[in-house]
A and B are shown apart, each in its own frame.
Chain A
Amino acid sequence: MARELALRDALNEAMSEEMRRDETVFLMGEEVAEYNGAYKVSKGMLDEFGPRRVIDTPIAELGFTGIGVGAAMNGLRPIIEFMTWNFAVLAFDQIVNNAAKTLSQSGGQFKCPIVFRGPSGAAGQLAQQHSQTFESWMGNVPGLKVISCIDPADAKGLLKSAIRDDDPICVMESELLYGYKGEVPEGEYLVPIGVARVRKEGTDVTIVSYNKMVLTALEAAEELAKEGISAEVIDLRTIRPLDYGTVVNSVKKTNRLVVVDEAWPFAGVSAEVAYEIQKYAFDYLDAPVTRVNSADTSLGYAPTFVEEYLPNPAKVIKAVKEVMYIKG
């Protein structure tokens, strides 16, 4: 049996279920307890678990992230919520220099089972500092795993897997899509980390994406279908480790690839996927790999800037037609 759940409620279920099953799991962050979460992801959790396990922090990202890392090294399983990944930049020292490296620099003596989670990506007219994506940044760091997924069912199963995982994991959500609804199965289930999912099967072109751009890709695929073009849409779901196999297999079938990535173009997920495809599916490609990214600029406030900056279905359709050598 499945029911419709919003992304925020699916994430809430994931955390609550894991906290019921494991006493060492706790949630810490700004406004997570009494305010019920800046985006209501932790609604009701203070009531159920109490202030010992659902903890409001002062506005001190570096400090509370480091406290999480220390607690993880000393036997607990913290979930650290960032109101947005943009604020997590203040805590990158703890994520990159400590969480990611503790196991290595201690020669395997100290693991760091911790989840850092919060929304990533543009969310309307929020201007430069509140509109960035962080999958590529965090995905660059050995020692970390990175999940970025907005499908409620998948996001729930992935977050549960992340909380049980013994490695430090960054989970990227979406401010705009916390209310996005999907079918979520009843009962206990996990979704494995590091496995992509084909959201729509197709034969003419592969569109690879993740997070909210998956919806943009699906919308474009629907439009393309009206013109007789069959697009396969792959949701990466995990950025590190990236499931290259699913992408390569798809490209072997469609012979064309468009990557739709909300990140900036330079040295990002889109570049990484393109590299792997030229390496492992070179002989299958009928056209150069093409990508649709956000503009290589900071995002300004005005609506015209937002429109110009972000990938959208029209831009994706244009890119698909380009790799299919269709004019107009």
Chain B
Amino acid sequence: MDTAVENKKKATRKKTNKPKYNKETYLNWYELMLRIRRFEERALMAYGQQKIRGFCHVYIGQEAVSAGIESALKPGDAIVTAYRQHGIALGRGVSAKAAMAELYGKKTGIVKGKGGSMHFFFAENKYFGGNGIVGAQIPIGTGIGFAEKYKGTDNLCVTMFGDGAARQGALHESFNMAMSWKLPVLYICENNGYAMGTSVGRTTNVADIYKLGLGYDMPSEQVDGMSPESVHEAVAKAAKHIRAGKGPYFLEIQTYRYKGHSVSDPAKYRTKEEVESYKEKDPIKVTEKGIIANKIATSQEINKIKEKVKAEIEEAVTFAENSDFPDPSGLYEDNYMQKDYPFIKD
């Protein structure tokens, strides 16, 4: 069976109706997911206007993953992920202004125009970045967790990657050492069904990605990624296990991207019906419906959030538009910590 269809079935199966968390939690999830969605829509528009260049991989459809992870973590925990990372960064507290300005390549961007779409970093909230080499962040996240254990903290590192990266050798080397050394690492595979244009089933005999953890005796589970509730629950459970000193945990979170791999991808490798079927389970719509139906908040409160987010994103675009590009001499900054490094300039 096609993996994407299979994912959809599982996503449907785990749908929850009764509210389990307080009002603040639901509204925070809703607001963050909406912020990510509106940010990405506006980024796509700016890309079309050629104001954003380079590669641009948007997170539309996957918002519930970021929302559910963030609500289940505590301050001090770290996150590292791959290049589809605007949503993760916003979840980590990167402002829409600093994120949009980065996409515009402006010096007010979160990394001063040095990273662009694939490389946001935010040291203050322990966001170790968007990594552009598929799977390279898996050992790095393992090392971030290693350092936490070495320092004797109870922090963990959420190490995220896609279904494509799950086939890199780096994953197996990391899983092995993390289990062997009982490192505080929560591995999360965001399985959106496609490694660029290649569906999961076309590159493997083991389409259930969570099973890759089982070979190392790592606790491993599949999670519905279209619901912030299910993501939160799974992450909270895993974090408890990790903080108890029992070592790493692996979650395969099944999600879906509505857009192509990157802006330049028309996504002809999948059917319109498949995409539409996921949009019916849209995490933002479903969460909004649940909030209203269960009387968690009023439609006025929801509208207020919508307006707030809309204004925030517009402000971010204005900020990005009005900011300056970095001075060309900045090219020589941040290559070395050594301030007087003798660059070859002839």
B337 and A110 contacting across the interface, CB-CB below 8 Å: no
The answer to whether A241 touches B341 (Cβ under 8 A) is yes
| Residues in A74-133 with C-beta less than 8 Å from chain B | 74-76, 93-94, 97-98, 102-111, 113
* 0 or 1 for each of B227-268: is its CB under 8 Å from A? (1 = yes): 000000000000000000000000000000000000000000
A26 touches B142 (CB 8 A): no
CB-nearest residue of chain B relative to A70?
B143
Instruction: Flag if A66 contacts B142 (CB, 8 Å).
Output: yes
B2 at interface, CB cutoff 8 A: no
Cβ contact within 8 Å between A71 and B146: yes
Which of B110, B122, B123 gathers the greatest number of chain A CB atoms within 10 Å? B123
Kindly count the residue-residue contacts between A and B in the assembled complex, taking CB atoms under 8 Å apart.
153
CA–CA, A167 and B150, complex, Å:
21
Asked if residues B334 and A62 are in contact (CB atoms below 8 Å), the reply is: no
Question: Which residues 99-157 of B have a CB within 8 angstroms of A?
Answer: 109-115, 119, 121-123, 128-129, 131-133, 136, 138-148, 150-151, 157
CA distance A62 to B142 in the complex (A): 12
Q: Which of A63, A109, A145, A241 sits near B142, CB closer than 8 Å?
A: A63
Q: Are B335 and A104 in contact (CB under 8 A)?
A: yes
Chain A residues whose C-beta falls within 8 Å of the C-beta of B338 in the assembled complex = 165-167
Question: B138: shortest Cβ distance to chain A, in Å?
Answer: 7
**Using a CB–CB distance below 8 Å, which chain A residues touch chain B?**
26, 52, 57-58, 60, 62-76, 93-94, 97-98, 102-111, 113, 142-143, 145, 165-167, 194, 241, 279
Chain B interface size band reads: 35 or more
Q: Residues of A contacting B115 with CB < 8 Å?
A: 105-107
Whether B151 and A111, one on each chain, are in contact in the complex, defined by CB atoms closer than 8 angstroms, is: no
Contact of B147 among A57, A70, A97 (CB under 8 A): A70
In the bound complex, do residue B111 and residue A106 qualify as a contact, i.e. CB atoms below 8 Å apart?
Answer: yes
Contact (Cβ within 8 A) A69 B170: no
Shortest beta-carbon distance from B88 to chain A in Å = 15
Contact A67 B111 (CB under 8 A): no
CA separation between A71 and B141, bound complex, in Å?
A: 9
Flag if B144 contacts A73 (CB, 8 Å). yes
Q: Which residues of A contact B110 (CB under 8 A)?
A: 107
Q: Check B143 against A71 for contact (C-beta < 8 Å).
A: yes
Binds A, one of B61-69, B173-181, B278-286, B315-323: B173-181
